[in-house]
């Protein structure tokens, strides 16, 4: 069953909680499809009025900020042994190559890596724990974490929600246009055939 189809069967409160928890766990460092769940929920909100996009965006933002903060605390306490353990548990996501790439991003961009990491699937998982492991000052991390969470979670919800509304409206209009076009084509074809049949009658009589 598709994620969106499954979400349609879930009460609104449960959707808010699910989005916040999944995004929070992903931000904490557990590879989960947070973005897919958020996008599916925002599309669902644009098509069904029982889900409030503002509450949905707030839930996603809270999950992102809280999850990243917990990930930072765990990374700061666990240090590099934590990354090694994660590498064994999730070799596809926490391989040595991925960790090295993320470290280079943090060394080059600092707190901007936390902010822009929100928009990159790999860095979204790494950002919190790795910032803690690398001992980034918490105030820097917190600013980047809050701003990134608001822009990514809130922005994604808003964009997908309005795109869904516009797309649904356009599709409805398109269906009416398609119906009108089909009727016009049908009428035109019928008139052309009638005219051809009428023009053919004198020829037949003459023969």
In a domain, 55, yes or no: yes
What is the tally of structural domains in the chain?
1
Q: Is residue 45 part of a domain?
A: yes
Read off the tokens for 146.
């809050």
187: in domain: no
Enclosing domain of residue 117: 3-168
Q: Given a cut of 80, is residue 146 above it in pLDDT?
A: yes
77 belongs to a structural domain: yes
- Residue 79 region by backbone torsions, left for phi larger than 0, else alpha for psi between -120 and 50, else beta: left
The maximal CA–CA distance of the chain, rounded, in angstroms, is 102
In sequence order, the 6+-apart residues with CB closer than 8 A to the CB of 196 are none
176 is a domain residue: no
**173 part of a folded domain:** no
Question: What tens digit of pLDDT does each residue of 130-142 get?
Answer: 888 888 888 988 9
Tokens at residue 96, please? Answer: 């040595």
Residue 31's alpha-carbon distances to 27, 111, 114, 126, 191, in angstroms, are: 8, 22, 17, 9, 63
What single-letter DSSP state applies at residue 2?
-
Q: Is residue 188 part of a domain?
A: no
Domain-embedded: residue 15: yes
Query: Where are the alpha helices (H) located in the chain, listed in sequence order?
Result: 3-7, 12-28, 34-47, 53-89, 96-109, 111-117, 121-133, 138-149, 155-206
- Tell me the whole-structure pTM to 2 decimals: 0.68
What is the per-residue pLDDT across 12-56, written as a single tens digit (0 to 9) for each? 888 899 999 999 998 887 878 888 888 888 888 877 667 888 999
Which pLDDT score, from 0 to 100, does residue 8 have? 65
């Amino acid at each position: 069953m598709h994620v969106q189809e499954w979400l349609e069967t879930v009460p609104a409160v449960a959707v808010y909680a699910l989005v916040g928890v999944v995004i929070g766990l992903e931000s904490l460092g557990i590879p989960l499809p947070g973005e897919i769940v958020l996008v599916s929920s925002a599309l669902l909100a644009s098509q069904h009025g029982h889900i409030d996009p503002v509450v949905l965006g707030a839930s996603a933002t809270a999950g992102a900020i809280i999850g990243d903060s917990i990930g930072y605390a765990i990374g700061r306490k666990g240090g590099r042994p934590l990354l090694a353990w994660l590498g064994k548990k999730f070799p596809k996501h926490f391989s040595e190559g991925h960790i090295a790439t993320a470290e280079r991003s943090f060394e080059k961009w600092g707190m901007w890596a936390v902010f822009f990491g929100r928009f990159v699937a790999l860095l979204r998982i790494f950002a919190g724990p790795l910032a803690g492991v690398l001992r980034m000052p918490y105030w820097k991390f917190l600013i980047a974490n809050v701003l990134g969470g608001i822009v990514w979670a809130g922005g994604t919800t808003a964009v997908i929600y309005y795109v869904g509304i516009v797309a649904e409206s356009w599709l409805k209009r398109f269906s009416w246009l398609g119906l009108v076009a089909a009727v016009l084509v049908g009428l035109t074809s019928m008139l052309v055939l009638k005219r051809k049949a009428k023009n053919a009658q004198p020829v037949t009589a003459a023969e």
